[in-house]
Structure 1
């Protein structure tokens, strides 16, 4: 058996074993109660409660109470899965993680193969010393090992799975979207993105990489984007048949955009809206939402329009940092995509800083949470400080990736020889 296959299967086996072990020792209850993992938008406990409400004859509509915040079509999907798996519902979450990691493997390998062929075809245009910096075949062969490890052994993804969150399905939709754009499969990309948009709205930013992916002679980008929006509309229409009063809109789209729940999480919304005066709320809601939805998408699209995969990753990073109700499962997905750019590791400078920051904040956040709410020896500022540090670490990681991409792009095009006044430049530290 080839070495790569052995390592991949080992990563899958270890990842599944860890999840099963945590399920069987009932640690899932602890993870389900953690605000860093479970939010009002992805809590499976709310899904179970909504299922129970739907079965009560005198109160069949779960959207009449503040229980579930996803469209009725997804609620029905969860009910079907619950009835199908029964007490073995944990298998559903494990299967979703396996499928997502496989999608990322397919997308990552195809992406690097495409990039490798492109660079080889343009090799005559590079300077002699720049040839040493193009992608190597060994990097393509090993990328699937790193992707499986980054997803199946990622603590954030494991917490997300064991904590029973619907983010596992969101990650699966996004994994399918990656496959759709790297393989230029119109229907797969459109359907998966429409499913993600309908569930949590913020993936609407990914219409930008969808557009630039299919903006060539073979496809009509406008039609593809329109198709995605039509599928999203169909999901809303089907949901309206399941909930004719349209009350679910107040518990899905409106809830996401207005952020009325101030339960602390790893995001930045909750603290600001607890502290501010009520008459400033509308101004800050618009400011925060425009920051994540509109501020970055145009400049990033213009700069990285030639690489839709990098554009998708950067926009997902923006979403996980600034959305109203983020969770560790979404951050873990972005981290799992980083092996796509293993060839950029040489150019990245903040790896140690971001790694240590993620590790320290992951340990610090539950500690200050306990000190704040149980010991009474801290306050909200302590926990918000941890979430602010977590957001800063994500920003450093994302900017480091983008700068590394630009550095490599420059070196391949112009070489790495630096000259000053016709002589080789030397950097001296005094």
Structure 2
């Protein structure tokens, strides 16, 4: 009976995957009608296809791709994706090949999410068995993969000719490699993700926990409490202690991949200023928030209004705000490194300089890994309705402000503020639900009655 259910579930999963691919391919044939590549929610100065095409044209014209402050992405993307921007059919630019690359990236990301979810599910089952707890749990890998593939944010990022699908794939590849103990693959994903977007650099902390301790599991002290009650110390049932061997191995491979990427970038930009030009135009552009064109974040409006002599101070405040959250969350969620990675990705999506819906698509997909632990999460319906409302209102407010002239910047910024608040609620309630889940396990172990918060 269980085998039949698995076959039915697998058949249904692949049906959804096929449907999502077909839906993307249909939308790709109507790029002019959708005009998603010009939407500020989809395309940012770092992920814009038009800017990538401009950078490639400059490079082909023997000029620096960073001249004119148009392109601010990786020189490797120019070499890999740039040729796809000049193919023409009957005199019209052909974006089909580039869109197919985005579709492939989405499918690969979904498969990696599914495989990682299966590893997490097995680890969770082993943890429950070690605690002598039996519970029917959902197939979180399939759910997370379908959430990522069928998410409207993922679809518009793919159809909107954004580089977000490739950046997301690098992040997911890093987590998959760490969870599967494929250390060279994890190091490669982390280096590429950091190279493309800078913010994934903080994922090195959950990756270290994954390599040193293994996938998500209840705190080790719960296992000790369980075995102390039984007066049996079977060390084979206890979760492994932290191991530094895989971490050192990861550091070695991360160093090798970093050198390799920098050498390739240096060769690509040898005639155009070298690596310093790349650092200034990519990471420097991210940290200084030079482009104040509207997006779904909050920094563009703030720095458009702040006095110039306060600008440096608030730049430090906003960027350090991310760093301040790293240590407390790492201490509290060190036994759940994959969930810690989800929280870090969500926080970066909320506070980064140039956010897009592609960033939200990533952390919402990762959230599907924890459908079992977050079953009692509060405000789920409120968050769902909030995301739908912002998705509908944001284009309307932008149209009223930019095209019709019947509104102003406050209209669009209001939706950005609501969007930021929704992400804050999601992170806070998600962390609370995970801690409550661990508290419930502790109460089951110790036999204490569960209070209202638990």
Same fold by TM-score, threshold 0.5 exceeded? yes
Q: In the superposition, relative to structure 1, how do residues 282 and 239 fare at CA in structure 2: closer, same or farther (>3 Å)?
A: same
**Local SS of the residue matching 1:68:** coil
CA distance in 2, matches of 1:70, 1:193: 17
Q: In the superposition, relative to structure 1, how do residues 279 and 341 fare at CA in structure 2: closer, same or farther (>3 Å)?
A: same
1:35 aligns with 2:30: no
Q: Give the structure 2 partner of residue 112 of structure 1.
A: 121
Tell me by how many angstroms 1:221 deviates.
2.2
Tell me by how many angstroms 1:83 deviates.
7.7
**Local SS of the residue matching 2:66:** helix
Gaps of 5+ in 1: 124-130
Q: Give the structure 1 partner of residue 295 of structure 2.
A: 265
CA distance in 2, matches of 1:168, 1:40: 15
Q: In the superposition, relative to structure 1, how do residues 66 and 119 fare at CA in structure 2: closer, same or farther (>3 Å)?
A: same
Tell me by how many angstroms 1:236 deviates.
2.4
Q: Deviations over 1:147-199 (max 9, x none)?
A: 23201110000000000111110111112112112112211111100000011
2:51 maps to which of 35, 46, 56: 46
2:16 maps to which of 7, 11, 14: 11
1:236 maps to which of 236, 256, 262: 262
| TM-score, structure 2 as length reference | 0.85
Q: In the superposition, relative to structure 1, how do residues 34 and 135 fare at CA in structure 2: closer, same or farther (>3 Å)?
A: farther
Q: What value does the CA root-mean-square deviation take over the aligned residues?
A: 2.3
1:224 aligns with 2:250: yes
**Local SS of the residue matching 1:347:** coil
1:185 aligns with 2:182: yes
Q: Give the structure 1 partner of residue 216 of structure 2.
A: none
Tell me by how many angstroms 1:146 deviates.
1.6
1:73 aligns with 2:103: no
Q: In the superposition, relative to structure 1, how do residues 220 and 3 fare at CA in structure 2: closer, same or farther (>3 Å)?
A: closer
**Preserved CA contact (<8 Å) 2:374 2:437:** no
**Preserved CA contact (<8 Å) 1:41 1:325:** yes
Structure 1 segments (4+ residues) deviating >6 Å? 83-86, 424-427
Q: Deviations over 1:205-251 (max 9, x none)?
A: 10111222223337242452354255234322321222131322221
Q: Deviations over 1:16-62 (max 9, x none)?
A: 12111111122575110100000000011111122222222xx4321
**Preserved CA contact (<8 Å) 1:53 1:62:** yes
**Preserved CA contact (<8 Å) 1:71 1:236:** no
Tell me by how many angstroms 1:135 deviates.
4.7
CA distance in 2, matches of 1:257, 1:65: 18
**Preserved CA contact (<8 Å) 2:36 2:159:** yes
Q: Give the structure 2 partner of residue 174 of structure 1.
A: 171
1:253 aligns with 2:300: no
Q: Deviations over 1:291-346 (max 9, x none)?
A: 12x11111111111111101111100111000000110110111111221111343
Q: Deviations over 1:374-428 (max 9, x none)?
A: 2222211121111010011111112221111111101111139776xxxx9899x
Q: Give the structure 2 partner of residue 396 of structure 1.
A: 425
CA distance in 1, matches of 2:309, 2:363: 36
CA distance in 1, matches of 2:76, 2:64: 13
**Preserved CA contact (<8 Å) 1:7 1:145:** no
CA distance in 1, matches of 2:281, 2:346: 25
Q: Deviations over 1:48-89 (max 9, x none)?
A: 122222222xx4321222221122123212235658997533
CA distance in 1, matches of 2:264, 2:189: 17
1 or 2 for the larger relative contact order (CA 8 Å, sep ≥6)? 1
**Preserved CA contact (<8 Å) 1:365 1:383:** yes
Q: Deviations over 1:266-311 (max 9, x none)?
A: 111101100001010000111111112x111111111111111011
Q: Give the structure 2 partner of residue 94 of structure 1.
A: 103
| TM-score, structure 1 as length reference | 0.89
CA distance in 2, matches of 1:300, 1:361: 28
**Local SS of the residue matching 2:395:** helix
**Preserved CA contact (<8 Å) 1:99 1:172:** yes
Q: Give the structure 2 partner of residue 128 of structure 1.
A: none
CA distance in 2, matches of 1:334, 1:346: 17
Aligned length: 408
CA distance in 2, matches of 1:248, 1:46: 15
Q: In the superposition, relative to structure 1, how do residues 52 and 28 fare at CA in structure 2: closer, same or farther (>3 Å)?
A: farther
